Amino acid sequence: MNNRIKKQIQKEFANKNLKIYFNLLETRFKPEYDSLYIKEILKFTRNFNIRLNREDKLKFCNKCFTYLNSKTKEIRLNSENKCVEHICKNCGNTRRFKYK
């Protein structure tokens, strides 16, 4: 089997599993396993060199691995730095994204 074909098969496998894990996170099937799902998502992205888009990155905290929804995160506009701040209420980690 060609190396390029093998890599494509691996990326397809990883993308299918990422969709499954994100579906489990969004449906909140078992909330106590959310941090494990997030760790698996990050493991797939690192091992198969897959980049997450911005919407997927904002679904979890990178520091404490909690699923971020309206109850667990706070969104602020910082006019001084001209950025949008997403603050995790569990650990206090902030993520800033510039706007114009």
Taking CA atoms, 79 is separated from 82, 88, 92, 94, in Å, by: 5, 20, 20, 15
**Domain range enclosing 34:** 1-59
Indicate the pTM of the whole model. Answer: 0.82
Does 73 lie in the same domain as 52? Answer: no
Residues 97 and 87 in one domain: yes
State whether 5 and 36 are in the same domain: yes
69 shares its domain with 47: no
| pLDDT score for 76 | 94
- Whole-number percent of the chain with pLDDT over 90: 70
Provide the number of structural domains found in the chain: 2
Handedness of CA 12, 30, 67, 42 (dihedral sign): negative
User: Are 93 and 44 part of one and the same domain?
Assistant: no
If asked whether residues 42 and 83 sit together in one domain, one would say: no
- Considering the domain architecture, whether residues 23 and 37 belong to the same structural domain is answered as yes
pLDDT number for residue 33: 92
